[in-house]
Amino acid sequence: MLTEFNTSLPSIKQFQSFIQQTQQLELKLVTGDIIAGKIIWQDQHCMLLVDSEEQKITVWKQAIAYMKQI
């Protein structure tokens, strides 16, 4: 069963804003790892982050402990 991607949610709007502004972000994952980069796209489960070395990293949203602008 597919769930609709609800673009009216504040968190989704915030991610979209970061994508449009090509905002540099730092993500701390629940594993304790920290990754930094820019979000290229998101869907209801994942996002694609590109780091400073142009490496593409797919991150499951449920793996994010917190996110901050840098």
What string of DSSP letters covers 12-67?
HHHHHHHHHTT-EEEEEETTS-EEEEEEEEE-SSEEEEE-TT--EEEEEGGGEEEE
For residue 17, count other CB atoms closer than 10 A to its CB.
11
Q: Encoding tokens for residue 54?
A: 């142009």
H or E stretch at 10:
helix 10-20
pLDDT interval class at 10 (50, 70, 90):
very high
pLDDT interval class at 4 (50, 70, 90):
confident
**pLDDT tens digits for range 18-65:** 999 999 999 999 999 999 999 999 999 999 999 999 999 999 999 999
Instruction: Look at residue 2 and tell me whether its pLDDT is greater than 90.
Output: no
Q: Encoding tokens for residue 45?
A: 């489960």
